Structure 1
Amino acid sequence: MTRRLDDEEIERQLGDLPAWTRDGDTIRASWEAPDFLTGIALVQEVAAAAETMDHHPDIDIRWRTVHFALSTHSEGGLTQLDVELAHQISQEAARRGAVAAS
């Protein structure tokens, strides 16, 4: 198990994740892919990483825009797993030419 992060730890770590915002016990980011198939490929890559970590995000796809929400439900908030997966999502999005969407 991983421990829940406190507010200071969350804010500090989000400083390295500019596309991500905190919404209570969840961090969220949206990425606009160059096209629909690239967005789907991004989701597939994130799904593989999530399976490896045994930590699964909420994902919503709207044409080229992919929305991710991360929280560790078993801990009732945000943990290091959420931060690590957010970094992986951000890196994969950039690799695929997706840009942060508001």
Structure 2
Amino acid sequence: MLKLSEDDIEKRLLQLPEWDYYDDAIHAEFEFDNFKDCFSAMSRIAFECEALNHHPDWSNVYNILTISLSTHDAKGVTVKDFKLAEAIENIVEPDED
């Protein structure tokens, strides 16, 4: 998997306004109503991580979930990180039709 250029990363981030790029990773922080909702989202995200065989650096404090994505083998951000970020977005902020 090839590391994306900073320009490509910035363009892709236009579709993911909750995410920022720094320190060779994309990062987001999500706030939930309570710990249970946060942990539930983490559990759903875990299934996506396994399906994509890609795992985040993340932490949880009460109702806050902090996520960093990078592809360690590529030493930076790849398409794989954006696929997982999109899956995470669909879990934590589903489209309301």
The TM-score, its normalising length taken from structure 1, stands at 0.89
- Report the Cα distance in structure 1 between the residues aligned to 2:93 and 2:33, rounded to whole angstroms: 11
Unpaired stretches in structure 2, ≥5 consecutive residues: none
Query: For the aligned residues, what is the CA RMSD?
Result: 0.8
Structure 2 residue 28 is the aligned partner of structure 1 residue 26: no
The answer for unaligned runs of 5 or more in structure 1 is: 96-102
Query: What is residue 38 of structure 1 aligned with on the other side?
Result: 37
Report which structure shows greater RCO (CA 8 Å, sep ≥6).
1
Distance 1:31 1:19 in 2: 8
- Say whether 1:13 aligns with 2:12: yes
Measured against aligned partners, the alpha-carbon deviations of 1:37-58 in whole angstroms (never above 9, x if no partner) come to 1100111111110011110001
The percentage of counterpart residues that share the same residue type is 30
Q: How many residue pairs end up in the alignment? A: 94
TM-score (norm 2): 0.93
SS in 2 for 1:51: helix
Match of 1:54 in 2: 53
